[in-house]
Amino acid sequence: MKALVYEGPGRRSWKDVPDPVIQQPTDVLVRMIATTICGTDLHILHGDVPEVAPGRVLGHEGIGEITSVGTAVTELAVGDRVILSCVSACGRCANCRSGLPSHCSNPEGMPGIGWIFGYMIDGTQAEQVRVPFAENSVYKLPAGMTEAEGILLSDILPTGFEIGVQYGRVHPGDVVAVVGSGPVGLAAVMTARLYGPSKIVAVDLDPARLARAREFGATATVDSRDPDWKAQVLALTDGAGVDVAIEAVGLPVTFAMAVELVRPGGRVANVGVHGKPVELALNELWIRNITISMGLVNTNTLGMLMKLVATHVLPVDGFVTHTFDFDQVAEAYDVFEHAAEHDALKVLIHRT
């Protein structure tokens, strides 16, 4: 089969690799219908995730059709079309049973980490993939749901919702600021509406992405290139700051922006994946009673979000801006890596 293989920092190739095989009774094999690219894939390619070894097939999001099932699999069958969760969870360890499948303790891939696709085991940017713990890690694709809708449920919608909105404890009437209007930031904007905030303020330096944030549910937008960007956000509050600031970029400067915006007693929810240490001015923050949260997505809301997407309560069709065939994966990476030049959000790579 063909797959997108990490060859070391800055190098990748679409090439022939061995077909996957069933290794455990709880596995299934999936013929990929569609996959996509995440910012985490770019972090790996840039060498920011040194534990990923050269030769690893990248990708942790996808939709596919089951072609083979392990002997212990009873709830799934050959021919089922499924959404693959980015988290593989055994469902039996202490972490899984306590609601933390992102830190599944099973030794598959790496004990204590549920995100193993494209990281510790071969991932989804391939024609076929082996899925561990299948009955806990895939969801049957609802009838009528498009590839462009379903692909968002693997990762970005649960990530924006769980790590941004839920960890930020958004309440009815809150003022929420989302720093960064990339795909995950926009997922936080869209899903924050489920909790009834009075205002959602998107902050970014790209006018095109700010326009999209308006389409996806932001009630106001602020261009962070403006010298008075902070004053513009505070003017949308009672002057004390926002109730919840969601950081969705993963840079020291954007984390600092989120901290600056939050009011005393407010919450900062860090969603962005950081490649460098971030300074935390505890000498200033301790007296402001601020709560800071962060984490790896559990995808335990995927089933609920799938219902909202299927019924168009969450109208997500605008997330996918570019579509490619599997053999155009190199072009897809170039577009995604230079998203601003191409006005790109999510790219869909699919079988035609």
pLDDT tens string for the chain (352 positions)? 999 999 999 999 999 999 999 999 999 999 999 999 999 999 899 988 899 999 999 999 999 999 999 999 999 999 999 999 999 999 999 999 999 999 999 999 999 999 999 999 999 999 999 999 999 999 999 999 999 999 999 999 999 999 999 999 999 999 999 999 999 999 999 999 999 999 999 999 999 999 999 999 999 999 999 999 999 999 999 999 999 999 999 999 999 999 999 999 999 999 999 988 999 999 999 999 999 999 999 999 999 999 999 999 999 999 999 999 999 999 999 999 999 999 999 999 999 8
What are the angstrom distances between the C-alpha of 53 and each of 45, 289, 319?
A: 11, 41, 31
Beta carbons within 8 Å of 236's beta carbon, 6+ residues apart: 175, 199, 201, 220
| pLDDT score, position 189 | 98
Sign of CA dihedral 48, 52, 55, 60: negative
H-type alpha helices, the chain: 39-45, 94-97, 134-137, 147-150, 156-159, 183-192, 207-216, 229-234, 252-261, 282-285, 302-310, 329-337, 339-342
Residue type, 123: G
Q: In CATH terms, is domain 2-155+299-350 a member of 3.90.180.10?
A: yes
* Residue 264, φ and ψ in degrees, nearest 5: -55, 135
For the chain, give percent helix, strand, coil, nearest 5: 30, 25, 45
Q: Give the separation between CA 310 and CA 145, rounded to whole angstroms.
A: 6
Q: Name the one residue in this structure whose structure tokens are 């009838």.
A: 143
| pLDDT score, position 276 | 87
Q: Give the separation between CA 7 and CA 278, rounded to whole angstroms.
A: 29
* Residue 289, φ and ψ in degrees, nearest 5: 55, 45
Domain map of the chain by residue range?
2-155+299-350, 157-294
| pLDDT score, position 275 | 83
Q: Please count the other Cβ atoms lying within 10 Å of the Cβ belonging to residue 183.
A: 30
Closest residue by Cα to residue 84 from 112, 144, 124 = 124
| pLDDT score, position 253 | 98
Closest residue by Cα to residue 21 from 128, 106, 116 = 128
| pLDDT score, position 18 | 98
Q: Name the one residue in this structure whose structure tokens are 């988290």.
A: 87
CA 83 to chain centroid, in Å, comes to: 14
Inter-axis angle of helices 183-192 and 207-216, nearest 10: 30
Q: Residue 50 is encoded by which pair of tokens?
A: 């040194």
The CATH architecture of the domain made up of 157-294 is 3-Layer(aba) Sandwich (3.40)
Using only C-alpha atoms, what is the Rg of the chain? 20
| pLDDT score, position 352 | 85
261, 233 Cβ separation under 8 angstroms: yes
Q: Name the one residue in this structure whose structure tokens are 């969603």.
A: 271
- Whether the domain at 2-155+299-350 and the domain at 157-294 fall into the same CATH topology: no
Q: Residue 127 is encoded by which pair of tokens?
A: 């024609």
Q: Residue 284 is encoded by which pair of tokens?
A: 């200033």
Q: Give the separation between CA 318 and CA 215, rounded to whole angstroms.
A: 9
Which stretches does DSSP call E strand in 70-137? 81-84, 128-131
